[in-house]
Amino acid sequence: MRNFFSALSILMLSLLVYSCTDKDNPQYELSNVKIQLVYPEGYNPSEGVEVSLKNTSTGAVFTEKTGADGTALFEVPKGIYEASASEQRVIDAEVYLFNGVNSNVNAGTDNVEAVINLELSKGGSVVIKELYVGGCPKDDGSGYFSRDQYVILYNNSSATIDISDFALALVNPYNSQSKNNDYVNGELFYASEGWIPAGNGLWYFENNVKLEPGKQIVIAICGAVDNTKTYSQSINYANSEYYCCYDVEDYNNTSYYPTPSEVIPTEHYLKVYSYGLGNAWPLSNSSPAFYIVRPQGTTLKDFVDNPDNENMYGSNQVRRKVPVEWVVDGIEVFAKGQANNQKRLLPTIDAGYVEMTAKMGYTLYRNVDKEATEAIKENEGKLVYNYSLGVDDSTDPSGIDAEASIKNGARIVYKDTNNSTVDFHQRSRASLRN
Amino acid sequence: MKTKLLLILIFLITPLVGFSHIISGKVVDIKSKKVIEFATVWVVGTGIGTVTDVNGNFQINNLSDGNYEIIIRCLGYTEKKEKIYITKNTKLVFYLSETSLALNEVTVTAERKADDAATTYTLNRTALDHLQSVSVTDALSLLPGEQTNKYKTLTSSEQVVTLRGESLEMGNPDFGTVVEMDGVRLSANATAQSTGGTDLRNVGNNNVERIDVITGVPSVEYGDLTNGVVRIITRKGKSPLLVNISVRPNTQSYSLSKGIDLGGKRGIVNLSYEHVRSVSDIASPYTSYIRNAFGFKYSNAVNYSSGRNLSMDFSLNGNVGGLNSESDPDAFKETYTKKKDNALWSSVAFNYMINSNWLSNLRWGVTFSYSDKMSEVKTNKSASSAMPALHTTEEGYFVASKYEDNPSSPIILLPTGYWYVTTYNDNRPINYSAYVKAKWTHKIGNITSNLLLGSDMKFEGNWGRGEYYTDMSVAPTWREYRYDNLPYINNWASYIEEDLNVSFRNSSLNLKAGLRNDMTIISGSDYGNVSSLSPRISAKYSFGNTDTGFFRGATVRMGWGKAVKLPSFEILYPRETYVDRLAFAPGTMADGTTYYAYHTHPVTPIYNSSLKWQYSIMREVGADVKLKGVRMSLSFYYNSMMSPYSSTRFYSPFDYKLTDQSALETCLIPSSDRIYNIDRNTGVVTVSDKTGTLPSQELDYKVVKDFQSASMSINGSSSSRMGLEWVLDFDKMKSINTSVRIDGKYYRYKGVDEVVVPSRVNLTSSDGQPYKYIGYYVGGTGNYNGFESRRLNTNLTFITHIPKLKMIFSLRFEGTFMNSRQNLSEYSGGTRSYVIDDRGDYLPSATDKDIYDGDNYVVTYPLYYVSRDDMDTKVPFMEKLLWAYDNDRDLYNELTKLAVKSSYGYIFRKQSYSPYFSANLNVSKEIGRYLTVSFFANNFFYSTQKIKNEQTGNEMSLFDSSLITPFNYGISFKLKL
């Protein structure tokens, strides 16, 4: 009953206001409104940002773009307005979202000045969509083939991102279940020093690579040939779109690195800055800790060459100390069924882990952000549900079959909470085999 | 000096007084009173002896007045020693008792041979039976302070004996320990790819009559050794049929042996057969090591009326067996590993007992040893793209081709898909020798002189063809290296030794001095002839021998000697190596084919003409004291291993051209029509069109500035081993039928390698080229270049022997009171390792810290380095690094790659374990006349004790650790029919 009266009062009041305004301003009197966008500290205003003024009584919306000084000029009928602005910037391959609302701009006089205080939030960026490292059964039943690893990077944001200076890294100790000497008094000693170890070498792009929103890049980590003729459950990398890790001057183990399929252009080869021993990049088949690095304030080469960034594991295993803030995305993989798995990635990179059963052709696939994906209008009718490719109790809780939906033309937004326990699941089939 | 020595020798060999008396008599079984044929009757401390004839009779001529000790031995009987005093011709009857647990005296431990100045132990058959050894190596755990073998099965690894030394030490102590069976050297010198000990898994265990272990300074008769001799003596003589069945979880053993008297003067034949099957996993008993050891021995002796006696032994021992996993259902279909471990050891030995004024006996014979260690491994392979298999043996660039296109191509592209490959490794070392030695014993008053002169020729080679493949279409990268093409090592040894015994009223003195010369002749190699002299002396003084009172006699002894070890084939003939560099890698085609090209540079092995033969200087003092109720034996030794065999690498600059797929991006010829040619000399790749439509095209390349390396055998730094071994035997406490033995050893090893060796960092420089500096490190690139280890073991054995019950029970506690290791970083010319303040640092701490002082991270520098641009200028490393730190940051960054940092702060903290123990139980019981049952349980309380490692502070459990013998048990039945 009380609610009824409240609603009635609001309705009455609205009617009164509406009738009064109408009555007091029989003609449209205009006001010059200057809206200044105020950015968080450290960020400069930019030109061309759209600012909206919405008349709170009529609902009329006016838009203008900012000038170089971050101001937008309006000529609007006098009244009370709500001013809002949002801007998306891509800085260092990260999407920064600036949003602000000023709900009380009183354009009652001829010249009015008001501000919108923008707040910053980080949007989705480039994520590891899939990591396939465990290998698959051989056709003759003699074991498993594992020299067919790949990673798929995906632009989860709505901006094109330049990933040319991204690098692929792995943590040594290579396996989660093996003894980890980095634990001192129960804690990873590098946690307090703000870095994460990169074992053996770092793979980098030699050429410019840009990733459009919702697009992906496939990187064969080893064995970039058509493996399916011999191993029918493996991957065929004979695809001109694909990239591959191949640097014969450092890693010349031809069983890991046969010369890539001739259809992969050489500009799609990632090269390596290798500083460890051995003739291959030892990404674990059972339980790697894999991550993407983007150097800041220096080049990858200078970083690698500087002995100050060196750290030794054991007597002869050289590592580099990658600052934690350089890490774009990471995934911590635990060997399923092992009791002694230990985390290597720090919580800021990956607060959890995803379990994997190796040798079965399984892959680690990122879960779909259901809410965000469904919120995209264009996805209507394109999303495929009833996802059934999870393994055992590990599946995508969104129920959306991302790959099938992409085929339908949907734009998938993946879950990115920096916690692979909730961000990833084990998929029974590598997506490149779809 | 030499003249003096010669004069002494002349004096010694001049006969002064002749011999006159004869001792003769019979050897008789104490129970049956039957005569015993083929018993040896020997005069202790001389070269005089004989063998009883069909009627059990013996005769020894030419003995002068004096005290003698006679030792009588015969298979199946307990050895007998008797002291006699002779002034005239004497007739004697010796009674021997059949070996049985019913006897009062039964030995189940290692006995020290009292009549030898050098420390020598004997392990007799009763001890081996009671221990239930499966391998000869098991038995050696009975030596003072030694512990029960850590192996549970024969499949796991080679079983090697190392005397007065341990594995991981410098100086190859296992290689310096030699094993002989019936006088045949089971040599490992010509075994391919090994400078290690002799694997004894193929030696039959149940046919062994006794094992003599010489750990002290041996007689000059023994050469080609540095650490000691293990002599295995197989059964000889008439014996009933012995059947032995022994079972334990991983291993079963069945054996038969019999000594047959052929009757009349036809001699005796000993036959034996032993089948042992040992599986690696009792849950899947398929992969197994099989031993089928056989023995044949023919012995005969002719006694002449003059009292002379000629005896002859022909022995043929061997094995057919090895490791086989073919039937293992857990292995993938058709895959297997088969490793033959066949062997044949044979010898013919003649012993002519002359007992004349000029010659006591003359021995001669030949030995032959042959092993077949052929391994055959069949593995399954698969590939999705064609992998190259390099068989190039010539210098130059070569492109791969498919086997079907060119079967003799230097580089073959292996198939794609699935296939099998069988790798054969034919390794068949052989050695044979001939020897002659003469002993002349004469007595002048209270002095007995034994002069030994001898010579032997030994030839060692290998008949194996090395690794090979029968199907070249699937053979991996491989180059033929035939062992049978390697020159033989021929060694001619000659030696002279005087063994002087002086008897006083209550004491005796024994002096032994000998000289051995080894002339090693390796024709067809750069080594040529190498001569090495080994002088050895020893002395022993015994006094106060009596059967009453508290003090019942003592012996003090000492020895000093040099012993030379001949090199192994691995040391002598470094392999030709091939530096293969990928020179061209075109993209993989749709069918998985890619035509790799490689540059191959064969590196001729470097023969080190100044290589010296490794030797040891052995020093020993000892004392044996007999008190009322206890016998004590102490031996102290200090051995130095000099110029041990070692190897190093040498580097020289080497450029090659690399062409990769990027050079083909502009190639217009479709990949399926391309023919790749690489210029053998220049390395330039040309692509031509199969169809002839498009013109040929030369590809761009990059020059890679690399190194090549070769290995060379060198002499390493010396190391020292010292130790004290003790045995205390307390007499049997009659009331409880129990005797106690305490034996143990303290052992200390120290070795620091100061040989400066080059080492290369396998990294790229910042310019993308291979790392261009070579560091020269003192004793290698490790943070430590040596270590000192100490060990204190004590065993306590309770032996309860109840003759009435024909039963013996022993309980042995093995205690390790000290097991420590201290890593060392030492260099007599300065410092090689420095403390760093932080593990990230490369420069030494500013404060003067000691690397041994607690927890410190350490950096080790090379002494100097050379650059690829100037290989002759040696730049002092540390000086340059410090300079570069301030003046040339890029150089500093590069040089830090040569600095080796420790991964732990405790690397130079002493590693030591708190004491730990295990216990073994052995029981043997004779049931009736024919059956003996034995049972054992090793480590029977299955120790779960936790011990602390002082270095890391960590605790570890002894459960299933490698420190003590694993829990094991078994039973055996011995039938005497």
Identify the structural domains of chain A with CATH numbers, from first to last: 30-122 (2.60.40.1120), 126-367+414-433 (no CATH)
Q: Which of B953, B948, B950, B947 is nearest to B911 (CA)?
A: B950
Q: Tell me what pLDDT residue A426 has.
A: 96
pLDDT for residue B17 is more than 60: no
Q: Which of A204, A233, A389, A408 is nearest to A293 (CA)?
A: A204
pLDDT band at A92 (very low <50, low <70, confident <90, very high): low
Rounded Cα distance, B105 and B90, in Å: 28
**Between the CA of residue B393 and those of B347, B476, B576, B653, B685, what are the distances in Å?**
42, 14, 10, 20, 21
% of chain A exceeding 90 in pLDDT: 57
Q: Residues B681-700: what's their mean pLDDT?
A: 92
Q: Please tell me whether the peptide bond between A173 and the residue prior to it is cis, using omega within 30 degrees of 0.
A: yes
pLDDT band at A124 (very low <50, low <70, confident <90, very high): low
The tens digit of pLDDT for each residue in B796-841 reads 999 999 998 999 999 999 999 999 999 999 999 999 999 999 877 8
The tens digit of pLDDT for each residue in B452-511 reads 999 999 999 999 999 999 999 999 999 999 999 999 999 999 999 999 999 888 899 999
Q: Tell me what pLDDT residue A21 has.
A: 43
Long-range contact pairs involving A61-65 (C-beta distance under 8 Å, separation at least 24): A64/A35
pLDDT for residue A302 is more than 50: yes
Cβ neighbours, 10 Å, residue B894? 22
pLDDT band at A101 (very low <50, low <70, confident <90, very high): confident
Residue holding tokens 């354009």?
A: A107
The tens digit of pLDDT for each residue in B549-564 reads 999 999 999 999 999 9
Cβ–Cβ contact A238 with B under 8 A: yes
* Within a domain: B862: no
The nearest alpha carbon in chain B to A279 belongs to B762
What integer best gives the mean pLDDT of chain A?
Answer: 88
% of chain B exceeding 90 in pLDDT: 61
The tens digit of pLDDT for each residue in B844-893 reads 988 888 999 878 889 999 999 999 999 999 999 999 999 999 999 889 98
Q: Residues A424-434: what's their mean pLDDT?
A: 92
pLDDT for residue B15 is more than 60: no
**Residue B595 · residue B586 · CB < 8 Å:** yes
Q: Tell me what pLDDT residue B238 has.
A: 87
Which of B380, B384, B594 is nearest residue A230 as measured by Cβ atoms? Answer: B384
Q: Tell me what pLDDT residue B794 has.
A: 96
Cβ–Cβ contact A227 with B under 8 A: yes
pLDDT for residue B11 is more than 50: no
Q: Tell me what pLDDT residue B454 has.
A: 96
* Within a domain: B62: yes
What integer best gives the mean pLDDT of chain B?
Answer: 90
* Within a domain: B394: no
Q: Tell me what pLDDT residue A6 has.
A: 52
Q: Residues B756-780: what's their mean pLDDT?
A: 89
Q: Which of B32, B218, B45 is nearest to B119 (CA)?
A: B218
Q: Residues A249-269: what's their mean pLDDT?
A: 91
The nearest alpha carbon in chain B to A235 belongs to B384
Rounded Cα distance, B355 and B450, in Å: 12
Q: Tell me what pLDDT residue A171 has.
A: 96
pLDDT band at A200 (very low <50, low <70, confident <90, very high): very high
Q: Which of B568, B600, B567 is nearest to B582 (CA)?
A: B600
Q: Tell me what pLDDT residue A18 has.
A: 46
Q: B905 versus B275: which is more confidently predicted?
A: B275
pLDDT for residue B177 is more than 90: yes
Q: Tell me what pLDDT residue A20 has.
A: 42
Helix and strand element counts for chain A (H, E): 5, 29
The tens digit of pLDDT for each residue in B640-658 reads 999 998 888 889 998 999 9
The answer to whether the CB atoms of A263 and B587 lie below 8 A apart is: yes
% of chain A exceeding 70 in pLDDT: 91
Which residues, at least 6 apart from B356, have a Cβ–Cβ distance to it below 8 Å?
A: B62
Q: Tell me what pLDDT residue B1 has.
A: 45
Q: Tell me what pLDDT residue A390 has.
A: 94
Rounded to a whole number, what is the distance in Å from the CA of A289 to chain B's nearest CA?
21
**Residue A136 · residue A231 · CB < 8 Å:** yes
Q: DSSP of B775-836, one letter per residue?
A: EEEETSSSS-SEEEEEEEEEEEEEEEEEGGGTEEEEEEEEEEEEEEEEEE--BTTB--EEEE
End-to-end CA distance of chain A: 59
Best residue of A202, A237, A259, A279 to probe chain B, by most B CBs closer than 10 Å: A259
Best residue of A172, A242, A249, A251 to probe chain B, by most B CBs closer than 10 Å: A249
End-to-end CA distance of chain B: 62
pLDDT for residue B584 is more than 60: yes
What interface predicted TM-score (ipTM) does this complex get? Answer: 0.75
The tens digit of pLDDT for each residue in B236-264 reads 988 899 999 999 999 999 999 999 989 87
pLDDT for residue A309 is more than 60: yes
Which residues, at least 6 apart from B883, have a Cβ–Cβ distance to it below 8 Å?
A: none
DSSP state of A111: E
The tens digit of pLDDT for each residue in B448-466 reads 899 999 999 999 999 999 9
The nearest alpha carbon in chain A to B586 belongs to A259
CA angle A315, A321, A322 (to 5 degrees): 145
Rounded to a whole number, what is the distance in Å from the CA of A234 to chain B's nearest CA?
10
The answer to whether the CB atoms of B762 and A277 lie below 8 A apart is: yes
B776: left (phi over 0), alpha (psi -120 to 50) or beta: beta
One-letter amino acid for residue B498 of the chain: E
The tens digit of pLDDT for each residue in B286-340 reads 889 999 999 999 999 888 877 788 999 999 999 999 999 887 777 788 899 999 9
The answer to whether the CB atoms of A259 and B766 lie below 8 A apart is: no
Q: Tell me what pLDDT residue A16 has.
A: 42
pLDDT for residue A380 is more than 60: yes
pLDDT for residue A49 is more than 60: yes
The tens digit of pLDDT for each residue in B944-974 reads 788 888 888 888 888 878 888 889 999 999 9
Chain A stretch 250-309, residues whose beta carbon is closer than 8 A to a beta carbon of chain B: 250, 252, 254-255, 258-266, 274-275, 277, 301, 305-308
Q: Tell me what pLDDT residue A7 has.
A: 53
Cβ–Cβ contact A200 with B under 8 A: no
Domain extent, residue B68, equals: 2-98
The answer to whether the CB atoms of B586 and A262 lie below 8 A apart is: yes
Q: Residues B571-587: what's their mean pLDDT?
A: 87
β partners of residue B866: B774
Residue holding tokens 């997506």?
A: A431
* Within a domain: B955: no
Sort out which chain B residues have CB atoms less than 8 A from A311's CB and list them: 839-840
Q: Tell me what pLDDT residue A23 has.
A: 42
pLDDT for residue B671 is more than 70: yes
Question: How many domains does chain B contain in total?
Answer: 1
Rounded Cα distance, B307 and B61, in Å: 6
pTM over 0.95: no
Rounded to a whole number, what is the distance in Å from the CA of A430 to chain B's nearest CA?
18
pLDDT for residue B666 is more than 90: no
One-letter amino acid for residue A315 of the chain: S
Q: Residues B85-106: what's their mean pLDDT?
A: 86
Sort out which chain B residues have CB atoms less than 8 A from A138's CB and list them: 382, 418
**Residue A133 · residue A284 · CB < 8 Å:** yes
Show the tokens assigned to B21. Answer: 């008396």
Question: Which CATH number fits the domain that encloses residue B24?
Answer: 2.60.40.1120
pLDDT band at A350 (very low <50, low <70, confident <90, very high): confident
Rounded Cα distance, B452 and B222, in Å: 13
The answer to whether the CB atoms of A230 and B416 lie below 8 A apart is: yes
